[in-house]
Amino acid sequence: MKPYLLLVFIFWPVFCQSAIRIPLKKFPTEHNRISSYKEHSKWKREEPGKNKLVHIYDPATYGLVGVGTPIQFIPILFDTFSNEIWLFNNECTSEICLITKPYNPSSSNTSKIWRIEYKQSYKNLNMYGQYTVDTFLLGDFILDKLEFVNIRRIEWKGTVERLSLETFAGQITLRFPAKTRGTDFMAKLFSRDLIEGKSFGLRLPSFNDGDGRGELIIGDWDRQYVNESLIDWIKVISDSYWEIIADKLVYGSYGLAEQADMVVDTGLSIIVGPQVIVNNLFKSIGNSVNIIPITITSFLSDYDGYAAKCSESLSNFDFLINDRHYVLMPKDYLLPIEGKEGWCAFGIAMANNNYTRSWRLGDVFLSKYYTVCDGNLSRLSFNDYLARNNQTRFSAGNFVSLLEI
C-alpha cells in the first residue's frame, strides 16, 4: 500500500467525523451533603453568627477532555449558560485550583499564551487569567488552535466545605452562538466544517441513577432516545442563550408563572427562579409542611432554598410548553441530604438577586429528559425516555397565582 493511502486510512475516522461523543460523569454522592455553614474569615455574610445549613449539589455535566501536546486529560464542565472556555492553570495557588487536575501550559508543545489579560466577576468570586491557544481532544476528535482563558488566580467568596469538593478544572460553553471574546467553542467548531450538524444531544445522569453516567453528542443526537417523528420542537427566542417561553408553570394547583422565560443551564444542578415567586411558593408550602431554610450551592453560586422531610406529601411541578406538559414529581425534585437522614432539599431555589425574571433549568429538570438543541434552526426539544401518557390538563378553575400571595 502506498504511504499516502496508508495515512488516509489511519486518519479516516478523524476526517469523516460527523459527531463528537463525550461521556459525562456525575460527581459521587458523598459530595451531596449538609453541614454547618462556615465561611472564609476574610469574607462576611449577612448573618455570620447563625448556624445556617449548607447543602452541596455539584453539576453532573463534566467529562474528560484532552488538552495540549502531549495530551493532558482535564475534567471539564459543559455549560449551556456561560459564555467562555476556561481552564485552571497549574500555577494557580487559590484553594479551589489545588484540588482539581489543572492545565499545565508549560508541558504542552502546542500551547501559546497571548499576553491579553482577562478578568471575570461573579457573585461569589473574581477570576483572573490570560487568553491562551492550544489543541483540544474531544472524544476522538482533534480541534487545534482553540482559544480559551487560562485562569491563574481566583478570589473566592464561597463556603469552605465547597472548596474541598469541586473536582473539575475547566468549563466549555455550549451556547450557540455565544457572545464571547474569541473563545466561542460552538461557532468555531461548526465554522471549520468539522461537524456536519449544528446541534447537540444531551443525556444527563439523574440524581437517582446508580452509575451516574451520561453523554454529550455534538453534531447529532442519539436516536435510541429520540423518535424524530415525535419530537416537539420549541422555538429558541435568544441569540445568546438556549432560552424558551413556557406557557405556564404550576405547582399543584398554584400558578407560579405564565409566559415565563426559561433558560437551559447544564452548569446548574437545580432549578433557579425569580426571588419573589419562589419565596411565595415556599410560604405556601410552609403553611402545611414543615420546611427549613438552607443554602444550596451549585458550582459558582449559593442559592437560598428549603428542605423538608422526604416522606412529606408534596405536589408536582408542571411545565406547560407548546401545549405539552413536562412534569416533575417529588421523586424528581427532592434531593436526599446525606448526614441528615430522612430530609431532602427541594431542587428549586431562589435567584441570588431580586431583578432576575427568567427561570434557569438545571440538572433537576434536564436529567429527566433527553435534550436536543438545534443551533441551525434555533430550536430545542425535551424528550421522554419513555412514552408520555396520562397527562393532566390545566383548567381555569385550578390555576391560582402565587404572585398574589
pLDDT digits (tens, 9 = 90+) for 298-330: 766 788 999 999 999 999 999 999 999 999 999
Asked if 21-39+46-203 and 227-387+394-404 have one fold, the answer is yes
Q: How far lies 319's CA from each of 59, 246, 266, in Å? A: 22, 7, 18
Q: Which residues contact 276 (CB under 8 A, 6 or more apart)?
A: 354, 403
Q: Measure the CA–CA gap between 244 and 264, rounded to whole angstroms.
A: 8
H helices present in 70-226, as ranges: 95-98, 160-163, 185-191
| Catalytically annotated residues | 79, 265
In single-letter form, the type of residue at position 93 comes to T
- What percent of the chain stands above pLDDT 70? 72
Helix (H) or strand (E) holding 397: none
Integer angstrom CA distances of residue 391 from 213, 318, 319, 320, 387: 29, 10, 11, 11, 11
> What pLDDT sits at residue 51?
56
Domain ranges of the chain: 21-39+46-203, 227-387+394-404
Q: What's residue 209's pLDDT?
A: 62
Most confident of 48-57, 90-99, 180-189: 90-99
Which whole number is the average pLDDT over 169-183?
70
Q: What is the pLDDT of residue 36?
A: 39
Report d(CA 358, CA 264) in Å as an integer. 11
What number is the average pLDDT over the span 100-119?
88
CA distance 169 to 279: 33
- Architecture in CATH of 227-387+394-404: Beta Barrel (2.40)
Q: What cell does 332 get?
A: 424528581
pLDDT in tens, 119-130: 877 666 788 999
21-39+46-203 domain in CATH 3.40.50.2300? Answer: no
* pLDDT grade for 84, boundaries at 50, 70 and 90: confident
Q: Of residues 115 and 33, which shows the higher confidence score? A: 115
Lowest mean pLDDT among 41-45, 124-128, 346-350, 359-363: 41-45
How confident is the prediction for the chain on average, in pLDDT?
78
Q: Distance of CA 339 to CAs 35, 93, 304, 350, 392, Å?
A: 8, 31, 20, 24, 36
- 42 DSSP 8-state letter: T
Is residue 145 within 8 Å of 165, Cβ to Cβ? Answer: no
Kindly tell me if the per-residue pLDDT of 8 is higher than 50: no
Q: Tell whether the model's pLDDT for residue 32 goes beyond 80.
A: no
Q: d(Cα 220, Cα 375) in Å, to the nearest integer? A: 11
Closest among 296, 293, 243, 294 to 270, alpha carbons compared: 296
pLDDT value of residue 324: 95
Lowest average pLDDT, out of 146-155, 275-284, 362-371, goes to 146-155
The whole-number pLDDT of residue 355 equals 84
Cis (ω within 30 of 0) for the bond into 177? yes
